[in-house]
Structure 1
Amino acid sequence: MIFLVDDDVDDQEIFLLTMQDTGADVECEFACDGIQALEKLGGDSYQPHLIFIDINMPKMNGMELLVELKQNPRLVKTPIYMYSTSDQKEIVTKCMELGASGFMKKSPDINELRRDFSQLIDSRMAS
Structure 2
Amino acid sequence: MKYKNILLVNDINDDAETFVLVLNAINHKIISSVEGSPLEALKKLKDSKLSPDIIFLDYNMPHLDGTVFLKLLRDIKGLKRIPVVLYSRNSGHMLREAMTKFKKVQFLKKRANFRKLFKSLQKIILPEKSEKKSIMR
Task: Output the TM-score relative to the length of structure 1.
Answer: 0.88
In structure 2, the partner of 1:58 is 62
> Does residue 88 of structure 2 align to residue 113 of structure 1?
no
1:40-86 CA-to-partner distances (Å, cap 9, x unmatched) read 11113531101011011111112211111111221122111100011
SS in 2 for 1:48: coil
Cα-to-partner distance string for 1:11-48 (whole Å, 9 max, x where unaligned)? 11011001111125211111112111111111135311
In the alignment, what sits opposite 2:135?
none
Cα distance in 1 for residues equivalent to 2:67 and 2:110: 16
Distance, in Å, in 2 between the alignment partners of 1:120 and 1:24 is 16
Query: By how many angstroms is 1:92 displaced?
Result: 3.0
Aligned match of 2:8: 4
Structure 2 counterpart SS, 1:103: strand
Contact 1:67-1:98 at 8 Å conserved across structures: no
SS at match of 2:126: helix
Instruction: Pick from 92, 100, 114 the counterpart of residue 97 of structure 1.
Output: 100
Larger radius of gyration: 2
The alignment's TM-score, normalised by the length of structure 2, stands at 0.82
How far the C-alpha of 1:124 sits from its partner, in A, is 8.4
Q: Which runs of 5+ in 1 are unaligned?
A: none
Are 1:2 and 1:26, in contact at CA under 8 Å, matched by a contact in 2? yes
Give the whole-Å Cα distance in 1 for the aligned partners of 2:123 and 2:33: 20
List structure 1 segments (4+ residues) > 6 angstroms apart after TM superposition.
none
Segments of 5+ residues of structure 2 without an aligned counterpart are 130-137
Of the three residues 35, 38, 57, the one matched with 2:39 is 35
Identity %: 27
Moved more, 38-47 or 103-112: 38-47
> Tell me, what secondary structure is at the counterpart of 2:85?
strand
Contact 1:2 1:50 in 2 (8 A): yes
